[in-house]
Amino acid sequence: MNPAKRIQTLPPYLFAEVDKKVAKAKSKGKDIINLSIGDPDLPTPKPVVEKLYEAAKNPDTHHYPSYVGMKDLRLEISNRMKKRFNADFSEDEICVLIGSKEGIAHLPLGIINPGDYGIYPDPGYPVYRTSIMFAGGKPVQMPLKQENKFLPDMDELNKKIKFLSLGKGKTKLMFLNYPNNPTSATIDLKFLKEVVEFAIENEILICYDNAYSEMTFDNYVAPTIFEIKEARETAIEIFSFSKTYNMTGWRIGFAVGKSENLNLLKKVKENFDSGVFNAIQIAAIEALRSKDVESEVRKNMKIFEERRNVVCEKLEEFGAEFEKPKATFYIWVKVNKEKFKVTEESPSMKFCDKAIEKGVVLTPGVGFGEYGEGFVRIAITQSRERITEGIERIKEIF
């Protein structure tokens, strides 16, 4: 069978390459410490799991769910948006997702016509670029550079968009993600305002991916884009239960936005999927409602904060170049290019190959895009002991 062009034109999936190398090392009996996965090692809070047991036993939950999500869950999300962000969204302005990845992947189909442009951050979560391409759009690279604290250069972007608007396509969509994967950069309201003004001026829908909204340290509180009043006109925001509640395997998240914008996504979803298992949605209500869960989340964030401190102390000791993250469970570290000369292979890949030889898996920055080259991502999703051992093992590469 001849694969479709959209599959053929995909860039090589570097993470699969890394997996192969890991499998090879494991087959030789090597003890591997995996610091590459964005999947928390901690369990889902007990009250949420128990709610799932209970709900799954009730046959009423066994039918097709609602396309947009259970009303009770959407009401609970509406309350959470008010309480956490002072943002007003009715239950009709909320749509439950099968994980935030699903919403990200489907949204471009609702707004991009073949030939239109979609902006994606580079480095960034790879699904942004792919989903623009799958919708027939042309991905527009938005570099996140170290000298700009991994925020986009809005003057540069403005020029790019003005130039593109001279052609046939129109720029319709922009993905933006803070707290950021993979750089762990955070954003302030001044910058968000600038982005919102840019989007309004150019009639672009922003898809603000806030998957790490609650995964913050040192008293940093991540904002919603809707703290900028005008964002309501030009943005939808996507949240996830995966990282906050250690629920990556459950596949549940949600999108928020005024009906006119959110309907772009709802229309696609109505035709492609049939929602999230009702018992999981009932458990998600528990995650949002329960005080015990709230305190467990706070405790978990302290655990990640401590792990971050341990890794950052070690990296400082080794003289590595990095910014101590205020959010996410990633540390974005510069690769010493003098040591890892750019030959036919990328320095970040080469660094990760050396780490695998030492029994440690890291993610090469280039896997997140061209501008990720020269960096590696360390995920603190293992126990403190394993992380410490892992970092010690790769000391000499630093």
Ligand X SMILES: Cc1ncc(COP(=O)(O)O)c(C=O)c1O
Residues that bind ligand X (CB under 6 A): 38, 99-101, 125, 177, 181, 209, 211, 240, 242, 248, 253
Count of all residues that appear for the chain in the document: 398
Closest approach of ligand X to the CB of residue 44, in Å: 13
| DSSP secondary structure of 119-168 | EEEES--THHHHHHHHTT-EEEEEEB-GGGTT-B-HHHHHHHHHHHTTSS
Nearer to ligand X, 42 or 200 (CB): 42
CA 229 to chain centre: 24
Closest approach of ligand X to the CB of residue 300, in Å: 16
Rg for the chain, CA atoms, rounded? 21
Closest approach of ligand X to the CB of residue 40, in Å: 11
Helical ranges in the chain per DSSP H: 5-8, 14-27, 46-57, 71-85, 100-111, 127-134, 154-164, 189-201, 231-234, 259-272, 278-289, 291-318, 347-357, 384-393
Nearer to ligand X, 178 or 226 (CB): 178
Nearer to ligand X, 240 or 300 (CB): 240
Nearest one of 170, 171, 166, 188 to 179, comparing CA atoms: 188
Nearer to ligand X, 61 or 180 (CB): 180
Closest approach of ligand X to the CB of residue 343, in Å: 30
85, two tokens? 């962000």
Q: What phi-psi label fits residue 189: left (phi over 0), alpha (psi between -120 and 50 degrees) or beta?
A: alpha
Torsion of CA 269, 274, 213, 124, to 10 degrees: -50
Enter the DSSP assignment of 46: H
Closest approach of ligand X to the CB of residue 130, in Å: 13
Nearer to ligand X, 131 or 202 (CB): 131
Nearer to ligand X, 347 or 372 (CB): 372
Nearer to ligand X, 177 or 278 (CB): 177
